[in-house]
């Protein structure tokens, strides 16, 4: 690569930089066509890069076979020195993320139109076995007349791991990852649908459904947290969109939309419902009802549909804990008998250790065990085992204390084994 060329392409200007490389405006002299060149640096570890480059070409070829109005067109792939590149359609427009400032919701009709086009592009790609894996506002371009273009199909696989903890480098944003991606599982078409659901939520409310002080907090929320309904954050959102978003954001794949095409169909039905006649004021959000003809209410995510706008109900339930199991006591363990055996083995027992002493220990151990399991453990020694306290000798008291301690130790040893 020279200062002015990359392969056969003549570099005109730098358009931007990202975690994967640099994007240039360039000209293909053979076709006299202006293109965008996206580069990927291959100068790292050779063994690692060999596999990386193979996957790069495989993904780029798969993406290059996609021909859809909502997917950026890839013209060429190649390599020059340590730099691999994709020559693709040059888009004149704005990234979706620039249209989504914090706390500034996108107008509902515009949000629906954008979401429909993204869903259409994903449906086409999924039909040909291509999963994007990194759907987010930075990979969505809005070009002339509101047309939407999904970018980065060719290199999404290389940065599907959003966080490289070994080097501390963050590739992309974890806010749009699906639960299965967070858990390290293979990305499926449903993963792209979940990511699109996050984008729709953010467009409608002006805030992300999953947020936190760090990456770990965000990932925890993605797996465990059910966000409030969009209409509870933005009253201008029709109720039908609550159910659409709920189904797109289902934690389990089998509860999510089965296809992006199905999601696009429900979005179109929603848009048709909110269209009003000229001069007619829009209906209140609460009055908007889901379209039962095309949106299957029962199929909507039960978790989100039932618990909106609360978090998951089961997160707040108190678990009943078996104290006997927690404290390590066996229901059939004979503490007095164990104490007797231990006393005999250690020489503590002598002629004064008779049947009555054993019985007193057995009764005392039973009372202590019952107090612990009942949750009312007393720290006082029982005044007697069937007689007055004054009948105890000093030796009896020491024998009792040693026996109780020994029984506790033996109980712990037996339970641990």
Q: What are the catalytic residues?
A: 134
Tokens 């390290």 correspond to what residue?
184
Residues pairing with 360 in the sheet: none
Furthest-apart CA atoms within the chain: distance in Å: 112
b/e map 19-29, b = 16+ CB within 10 Å: ebbbbbbbbbe
* Alpha-carbon span 127 to 156, nearest angstrom: 17
Q: How far is CA 265 from CA 70, 117, 259, 260, 277, in A?
A: 16, 11, 10, 9, 22
Q: Which DSSP state fits 238?
A: -
CB atoms within 10 A of CB 181: 23
Q: How far is CA 87 from CA 25, 65, 96, in A?
A: 10, 14, 22
DSSP letters, 251-302, are: SSGGGS-S-HHHHHHHHHHHHHHH---TTPPPPPGGG----TTTS-TTTS-H
**Alpha helix ranges (H) inside 88-188:** 108-127, 179-182
Specify whether the CB–CB gap between 203 and 100 falls below 8 A. yes
Q: How far is CA 144 from CA 19, 93, 147, in A?
A: 27, 7, 6
Residues pairing with 59 in the sheet: none
């Amino acid at each position: 690569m020279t200062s002015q060329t990359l392969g056969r392409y003549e570099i005109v200007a730098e358009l931007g930089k990202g975690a994967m490389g640099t994007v240039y405006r360039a000209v293909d002299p053979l076709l006299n066509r202006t293109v965008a060149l996206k580069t990927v640096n291959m100068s790292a570890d050779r063994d690692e890069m060999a596999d990386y480059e193979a996957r790069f070409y495989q993904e780029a070829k798969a993406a290059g076979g996609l021909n859809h109005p909502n997917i950026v067109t890839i013209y060429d792939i190649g390599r020059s020195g340590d730099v691999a590149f994709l020559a693709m359609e040059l888009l004149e427009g704005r990234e979706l993320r620039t249209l989504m400032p914090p706390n500034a919701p996108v107008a509902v009709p515009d949000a629906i139109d954008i979401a429909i086009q993204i869903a259409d592009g994903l449906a086409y790609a999924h039909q040909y076995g291509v999963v994007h894996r990194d759907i987010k506002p930075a990979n969505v371009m809005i070009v002339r007349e509101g047309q939407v273009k999904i970018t980065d199909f060719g290199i999404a696989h290389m940065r599907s791991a959003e966080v490289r903890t070994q080097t501390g480098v963050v590739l992309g944003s974890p806010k749009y990852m699906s639960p299965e991606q967070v858990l390290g599982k293979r990305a499926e078409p449903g993963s792209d649908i979940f990511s699109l659901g996050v984008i729709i939520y953010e467009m409608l409310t002006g805030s992300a459904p999953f947020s936190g002080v760090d990456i770990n907090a965000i990932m925890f929320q993605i797996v465990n947290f059910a966000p409030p309904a969009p209409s509870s954050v933005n009253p201008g959102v029709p109720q039908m969109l609550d159910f659409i978003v709920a189904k797109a954001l289902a934690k389990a794949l089998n509860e999510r939309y089965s296809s992006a095409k199905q999601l696009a169909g429900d979005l179109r039905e929603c848009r048709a419902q909110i269209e009003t006649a000229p001069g007619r004021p829009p209906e209140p959000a609460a009055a908007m009802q889901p379209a039962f003809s095309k949106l299957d209410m029962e199929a909507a995510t039960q978790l989100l549909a039932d618990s909106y706008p609360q978090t998951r109900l089961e997160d707040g339930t108190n678990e009943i804990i078996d104290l006997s199991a927690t404290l390590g006591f066996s229901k059939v363990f004979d503490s007095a008998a164990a104490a007797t055996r231990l006393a005999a083995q250690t020489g503590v027992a002598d002629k004064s250790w008779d049947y009555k002493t054993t019985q007193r220990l057995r009764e005392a151990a039973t009372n202590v065990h019952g107090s612990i399991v009942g949750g009312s453990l007393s720290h006082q020694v029982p005044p007697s085992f069937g007689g007055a306290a004054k009948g105890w000798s000093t030796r009896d008291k020491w024998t009792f204390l040693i026996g109780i301690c020994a029984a506790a130790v033996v109980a712990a040893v037996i339970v641990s084994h």
